Amino acid sequence: MTNTRSDWEQRFQSLSIEGRAFIDGQYRPALSGATFECISPVDGRFLANVASTDEADAHAAVLVARQAFESGVWCTLAPAERKRTLIRFADLILAHQEELALLETLDMGKPISDAMAIDIPATANAIRWSAEAIDKRYDEVAATPHDQLGLVTREPCGVVAAIVPWNFPLIMASWKFAPALAAGNSFILKPSEKSPLTAIRIAQLALEAGIPKGVFNVLPGYGHTVGKALALHMDVDVLAFTGSTAVAKQLLIYAGQSNLKRVWLEAGGKSPNVVFADAPDLRAAAQAAASAIAFNQGEVCTAGSRLLVERSIRHPFIPLLLEALQAWQPGHALDPATRVGAVVDQRQLENILRYIAIGREQGAELIAGGNRTLEESGGQYVEPTIFDGVSNAMTIAQEEIFGPVLSLITFDTAEQALQIANDSLFGLAAGVWTRDLSKAHTFARGLRAGSVWVNQYDGGDMTAPFGGFKQSGNGRDKSLHAFDKYTELKATWIKL
Ligand code: NAD
């Protein structure tokens, strides 16, 4: 059992890290032989040389994925058989929980306790959930005239490529590959160049679980090379993406320039968390607000990065918020007591510090954090930061920082709060705190966001869809709705 930082360090010594691509059931270097170095943001240690795949590898992977699909080796299996295989895959992921958690933490900087308690179990759970669902779904018979039989069926699309970000590397990937594989598709996963290691590792586990070769492939590499090649590929049927809004827009262009592949986008956010004076428990609201900006170093698409507080409770609320934030101070990511780890890399750290400087320049008042910290560790750590006196027009309230920087905005009326909450290019999530049931419902209806949390922040599980309005994207991960993205709807008319 690994309980201390030194236990994890010891575990690291025995870790053998795979950096090659996984195509047709085998690890392979990039066809060009190119690699890039994977360096840990936790303390700057070297982790692996990773295959830098490009267009040629994308072609190779799409070819084997297509062949596997056409052969029927996976898509024609009975759903109950695919279910059993995927459940074995989930079980293998859990059996390798410590190894995968260690890789996830070292690769992208999150606290080891979160990787153990959240990332790896949630990944296994996502796979199990989609697997369990697939043999309980039925197609439809249309309301036809007496001499016709109209069948409305769903069938797998074929080759699905997924391009995913680094903030929850395995979870984000599993929300896509679990329903796509359960539905019978072949799959190509392009992890972020900043966090490729767990995706590469689980490819072997997928094969071990019995997913046939060619059905699950992993292409590590950069967005502008292999990511672009997949998005432009003429034989990729579906492109599922989680990442920034800027790249999401580019992917729609690539689909238009190529084969009109279906493009499902889960993009950025700048979510409002609205605390009314009649919130049932101000301390709970303050604790949730701190967690909403500090959890996962603020590198969360649904981070509650705009905190809207009703003017009459500003004075009691702010000290509660500052107190709650004390529990979220950065520490070495391999220390099991740490709740805030390292941000993903030097570039991300500089970006966060740049936004903090902009907040100051534009006249917001820094009331907590604001600095780089733990520099002696050799890693990239930043203090959770709060700006008070923010106007929603300021850059720090409009742009996604993707770090632990909170903008506190004061409002006077519910109408004003709703106007501010919706005054954003994004529409991913929102929180509202009130004990007035009618106000909660009315406000939730008015919010232009894909997820709304009342008297909590960031709740939910696999049972409800997750995705955004507006420029937060068009796709929905999780729940039975996710299957719609990976299946084509067919109408078959039989003359009786
Ligand atoms: P990013 O858009 O920079 O990169 C995401 C992925 O796209 C990476 O794998 C990258 O290599 C690839 N990519 C980059 N350029 C590409 C191109 N031209 N063609 C094809 N692929 C390309 O995002 P990121 O920095 O990895 O992640 C942070 C972003 O992800 C934030 O905006 C965050 O809000 C968003 N996110 C959204 C959700 C959601 O569910 N809506 C969840 C997590 C993260």
Number of other CB atoms surrounding residue 361 within 10 Å: 10
Nearest CA to ligand 1 atom 14: 223
- Cα–Cα distance measured from residue 302 to residue 274, given in angstroms and rounded to the nearest whole number: 14
The atom of ligand 1 lying closest to the CA of 428 is 41
Of 18, 98, 301, 310, catalytic: 301
Beta strands in 250-380 (DSSP E): 262-266, 272-275, 306-310, 365-368, 372-373
The tokens 């039975």 sit on which residue?
480
Q: Is the dihedral of CA 45, 219, 473, 251 positive or negative?
A: positive
- Cα separation, 345 vs 108, in Å, equals 8
Output the six-digit token pair for 175. Answer: 């929300």
| Residue of 36, 118, 172, 192 best suited for mutating to test ligand 1, as the one with most atoms within 8 Å of CB | 192
* Token couple for 494: 């039989």
Task: Tell which residue, 274, 300, 268, 271, has the closest CA to residue 454.
Answer: 274
> Strand pairing partners for 155?
488
Which ligand 1 atom sits closest to the C-alpha of 344?
A: 25
Task: Classify strands 148-156 and 140-141 as parallel, antiparallel or unpaired.
Answer: antiparallel
Q: Is 3 helix (H, G, I), strand (E, B) or coil?
A: coil
Residue holding tokens 């509660």? Answer: 320
- Cα-based distances in Å from 412 to 275, 314, 420, 440: 11, 11, 11, 16
Domains (ranges, CATH) in the chain?
Answer: 15-267 (3.40.605.10), 272-461 (3.40.309.10)
Q: What is the DSSP string of 134-169?
A: HTT---EE----TTEEEEEEEEE-SEEEEE--SSSH
CA 242–ligand 1 middle distance (angstroms) = 5
Stretches where the chain sits below pLDDT 70 are 1-2
Q: Whose CA is nearest to atom 43 of ligand 1?
A: 301
- What is the position in ligand 1's atom list of the atom closest to the CA of 222? 11
Q: How far apart are CA 453 and CA 475, in angstroms?
A: 19
Reported as type and span, the H/E element at residue 123 is: helix 120-134
How many C-beta atoms lie closer than 10 Å to residue 176's C-beta?
29
How many whole angstroms from 248 Cα to the centroid of ligand 1? 8
Cβ atoms of 125 and 171 within 8 Å: the answer is no
Angle between helix 120-134 and helix 97-108 axes, rounded to 10 deg: 120
Indicate the DSSP class of residue 314.
H
CA–centroid distance, 136 to ligand 1, in Å, is: 33
The pair of three-digit structure tokens given for residue 13, joined into one six-digit string: 């010594």
Q: What is the pLDDT of residue 1?
A: 60
Token reading at 167:
């903030």
Within the chain, what is the greatest distance between any pair of CA atoms?
Answer: 78
Q: Is 266 a catalytic residue?
A: yes
Percent of the residues in the chain that have a pLDDT greater than 90, as a whole number: 99
Please tell me the residue having the least CA distance from ligand 1 atom 16: 223
Q: How far apart are CA 472 and CA 491, in angstroms?
A: 32
Distance 151 CA to ligand 1 centre (A): 38
Residues making up the chain, counted from first to last: 496
State the distance from the centre of ligand 1 to the C-alpha of 25, rounded, in angstroms.
26
The pLDDT value given to residue 459: 87
For 118, other C-beta atoms within 10 Å of its C-beta total 18
Vertex 41, ends 174 and 405: CA angle to 5°? 80
Tell me how crowded residue 400 is: count the other CB atoms within 10 A of its CB: 21
157 classed as catalytic: no
- Give the separation between CA 72 and CA 486, rounded to whole angstroms: 16
pTM assigned to the model: 0.98
Give ligand 1 pocket residues (Cβ under 6 A): 163-167, 172, 190, 192-193, 222-224, 227-228, 231, 242-244, 247, 250, 266-269, 301, 400, 402, 428, 468, 472-473
Mutate to test the pocket of ligand 1, among 36, 118, 163 (most ligand atoms within 8 A of CB): 163
User: To test ligand 1's pocket by mutation, which of 50, 164, 242 has the most ligand atoms within 8 angstroms of CB?
Assistant: 242
Answer for the pair 320, 290: CB distance below 8 angstroms, yes or no.
no
Phi, psi of 176 (to 5 degrees): -100, -50
- For residue 3, what pLDDT is reported? 84
Structure tokens at 368: 């907590």
Q: Can you read off the two tokens belonging to residue 277? A: 């004076």
Q: Among 247, 293, 299, 351, which residue has the most ligand 1 atoms within 8 Å of its CB, making it the best to mutate? A: 247
